[in-house]
């Protein structure tokens, strides 16, 4: 049982809840396997992940796994969760989902902290203290979402 063999069973089940699979991992947990599935909204959506949708995805994945022989007789524990705010932003889809959020990212010898306003083929645009700053994909390091307790009203964002 590997993430690659499980993905064709899990992805359609997760899609029934309007979500996408972010990652799948399999680990030993005593005599059982621990199957972790991280789900997220599609990259073109902005906003928080609805916990009800995560619960629906979990139920759908459980049914799909039970209805197939992909796991054989191997006992397993299923965990379905969101990637969380501490997920590193390493792929374009991560940056797409981070639109409107405050992010901290290394850019060469500097660190940029700003709100993601645009994601396109050229890179990621940030609002840094009221000024737009475009960072190319080649310059962009691993970003981290910054937790905001006093978030401003949602701004217009674009993606291409």
pLDDT in tens, 77-122: 999 999 887 889 999 999 998 999 999 999 999 999 999 999 999 9
* Contact predicate 65/32, CB 8 Å: no
- Class level of CATH domain 3-81: alpha beta
Q: Where in the chain is the domain with CATH 2.30.30.100?
A: 92-159
Third-level CATH fold of 92-159: SH3 type barrels. (2.30.30)
Under the banding of pLDDT at 50, 70 and 90, the label for residue 37 is: very high
What's the gap between Cα 115 and its chain centre?
A: 18
Q: Which residues, at least 6 apart from 52, have a Cβ–Cβ distance to it below 8 Å?
A: none
Q: What is the pLDDT of residue 86?
A: 83
Q: What is the pLDDT of residue 157?
A: 53
DSSP H/E element including 3: helix 3-15
Distance CA 129, CA 127 (A): 6
State mean pLDDT over 73-77: 88
């Amino acid at each position: 049982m590997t993430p690659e063999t499980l993905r064709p069973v899990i992805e359609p089940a997760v899609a029934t809840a309007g979500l996408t699979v972010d990652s799948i991992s399999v680990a030993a947990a005593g005599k059982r396997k621990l199957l972790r599935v991280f789900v997220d909204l599609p990259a073109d959506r902005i906003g928080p992940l609805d916990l009800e949708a995560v619960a629906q995805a979990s139920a759908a994945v459980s049914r799909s796994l039970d209805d197939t022989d992909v796991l054989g007789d191997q006992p397993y524990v299923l965990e379905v969760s969101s990637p969380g705010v501490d997920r590193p932003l390493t792929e374009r889809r991560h940056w797409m989902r981070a639109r409107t959020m405050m992010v901290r990212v290394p850019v060469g010898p500097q660190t940029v902290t700003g709100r993601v306003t645009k994601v396109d083929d050229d890179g990621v645009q940030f609002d840094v203290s009221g000024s737009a700053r475009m960072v190319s994909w080649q310059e962009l390091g691993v970003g981290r979402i910054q937790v905001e307790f006093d978030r401003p009203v949602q701004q217009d964002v674009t993606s291409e």
